[in-house]
Chain A
Amino acid sequence: EPEVTQTPSHQVTQMGQEVILRCVPISNHLYFYWYRQILGQKVEFLVSFYNNEISEKSEIFDDQFSVERPDGSNFTLKIRSTKLEDSAMYFCASSENIGRYGYTFGSGTRLTVV
């Protein structure tokens, strides 16, 4: 069964450093998403992406965050200057059709900011 692949599974970074989280969506999918889950809290929406542009973003997704699809296969989330409160599990997802029919999620990247 096709999978969404996220790398790395765990990343530790120092506060103030830039970090890039990488995702390889399912190859024929057109819609891409990032979510995060801070330990003990709900899974929260960050951003959706379609046709090489952001479709929607949440209040969390401020100027410190950016997304990119640099080639035909990768979908990345960049955090420019990490803060302690950015520590969370970050999930990438993709869908073939509009998301109301369901996404396929990756297994997540656990980001720890120290």
Chain B
Amino acid sequence: AQSVTQLDSHVSVSEGTPVLLRCNYSSSYSPSLFWYVQHPNKGLQLLLKYTSAATLVKGINGFEAEFKKSETSFHLTKPSAHMSDAAEYFCVVTLNTGNQFYFGTGTSLTVIP
């Protein structure tokens, strides 16, 4: 079975400080992993994806994530938070065809000025 666990439901950081959003996955096979972001009243926007190529993945807006198979983790990081980063972040896993995505419960990021 496939699943993801987002370890923090809420994260609060000060503007200009690093961001770390944690995600652990469970998968029987080689997964594809994604981070999506949802701003209020907006759709789910793809931040970055891992599909079995480089384990360090760079995404939009300065975010990156590292796939660590030994730790079954795919944590999202950003060196310096910006006010516009405040949103809900979802870690997602899928297999093979990707017909079905498995979402984490989401992490709400607050950025304090």
List the interface of chain A (C-beta within 8 A of B).
Answer: 3-4, 31, 33, 35, 41-45, 48, 55-56, 58, 91, 93, 95, 98-108
Contact = CB atoms under 8 A, between A and B. Distances in A.
A58 B44 CA distance: 20
Nearest to A46: B100
Interface in B9-51: 32, 34, 36, 41-46, 49, 51
Nearest to A97: B98
B97 A108 contact: no
A60 to B, nearest CB: 12
A91 B44 contact: yes
Contacts, number: 68
Given A48-B100, A107-B41, A107-B42, A101 B105 contact: no
Contacts of A44: 103
B87 interface: no
B42 to A, nearest CB: 6
B105 A42 contact: yes
Contacts of A45: 100-102
B96 interface: yes
Contacts of B102: 45
Interface size class of B (residues with CB under 8 A): 20 to 34
Interface string B54-66: 0000000000000
B100 A58 contact: yes
Contact of A100 (B32, B41, B45): B32
**Closest CB pairs A-B (n = 9):** A99-B98, A100-B98, A107-B43, A105-B44, A43-B103, A48-B99, A100-B32, A56-B99, A45-B100
A113 B78 CA distance: 40
Given A91-B43, A105-B36, A107-B42, A99 B101 contact: yes
B110 to A, nearest CB: 18
